[in-house]
Structure 1
Amino acid sequence: MSDEHAPTSTGKSRPPRQKRTGLTSTGVRKAASKSARSRSREFALQGLYQHLVGRNEATAIDMFTRDLAGFHKSDALHYDALLHGCIKLEADLNALIAPKLDRQLGELSPIEQACMWIGAYELMYCQDVPWRVVLNEVIELAKEFGGTDGHKYVNGVLNALAPELRAAEVQADKAGKSA
């Protein structure tokens, strides 16, 4: 007898489980279901990790990343903006993030810090991406690549930062929900 039709504690057999499409067995989105922008964020996160941990230069990271499997399916322009923009504006992004932290910047994991950089950068410079989409995408990155509860911390910091960087959009969104 297969596991799917095994009797339950009440003696009745349970129906087979429904397959969840678009997700791996761990609940992470499958690569095939990711948008080009989502993929570009993933590649940018990997590049920013190399920058934070290895202090690698942006051009070396860029050359390496473009040769990775699946890069051709990403939004290369968005990847460029995120990778080069975050590295160029590292000090500015850190200055935005640091006041929202409950610890020193150096105590963040490189994944959390890179996720926060991507989120802060997109909130500031990618006005075509709604603020909630920015937060959702970055939280998904933190869930997929970060530590157990790192996504919660990233969410808290970016939720505190969004009203400063997208005041009108956040205010309009919250007003619409209360109506």
Structure 2
Amino acid sequence: MTMDAKPDAPRKSGRRLAREYAVQGIYQSLLSGNDAPAIDAHLSEDPGFSKVDRKLFRQLLNGALDNAETLRGHFSGLIDRKIDELSPVEHAILLVATYELAHMIETPYRVVINEAIELTKEFGGADGHKFVNGVLDKLAPVLRAVEVEAARNRPRG
């Protein structure tokens, strides 16, 4: 998994890059078992890391790794397969997005879901974004009940 941007791609915000690198770090952890400090040290050497919102990156990386079992508990009942059958990319994205939904209420749930979908489109399999969207659409009303209900009751127009 590489985080190289396409030459014609629009510039990404520091927050988007933080999510990308956090997903890459979780992916590394899932495959190699490396811990957060080792992952942080490795990723911070990447030239693109200089534009990352480092505070958000570390919060997502450490939060997802430190709370992985609890986070998996939130979404395991919403998926149609066992956790160990998830692709590492989808697994990493679900961990980061679930952490953000559960612990970072300052980020609107729709932003969390949209960011996860975009990351899955960029780094995941062909229809992985549909899977991630479906899981997070079911999870948001559980973890963000008040916010989701308010959005549903907001007048359209």
TM-score interval, normalised by the smaller of the two chains: over 0.9
Partner residue in 1 for 2:108: 130
Residue from 151, 158, 161 that aligns with 2:136: 158
- CA distance in 1 between partners of 2:156 and 2:91 (Å): 32
Partner residue in 2 for 1:63: 41
How many positions carry a matched residue from both structures?
153
- CA distance in 1 between partners of 2:106 and 2:78 (Å): 25
- CA distance in 2 between partners of 1:81 and 1:117 (Å): 13
**Taking structure 1 as reference, are residues 177 and 48 closer, same or farther at Cα in structure 2, changes over 3 Å only?**
farther
Q: Deviations over 1:49-85 (max 9, x none)?
A: 0000111111111100111111111100000001011
Partner residue in 1 for 2:31: 53
TM-score by length of 2: 0.92
Shift, 1:125, TM fit: 1.1
> SS state of the match for residue 33, structure 1?
coil
- CA distance in 1 between partners of 2:93 and 2:111 (Å): 14
Name which structure has the greater RCO, CA cutoff 8 Å, separation 6+. 2
Shift, 1:34, TM fit: 1.1
- CA distance in 1 between partners of 2:54 and 2:14 (Å): 8
Q: % of aligned pairs identical?
A: 44
- CA distance in 1 between partners of 2:31 and 2:140 (Å): 27
Gaps of 5+ in 1: 1-22
TM-score by length of 1: 0.81
> SS state of the match for residue 105, structure 2?
coil
Larger proportion of helix = 2
Partner residue in 2 for 1:18: none
Larger radius of gyration: 1
Partner residue in 1 for 2:71: 93
Gaps of 5+ in 2: none
RMSD across aligned positions (CA): 1.7
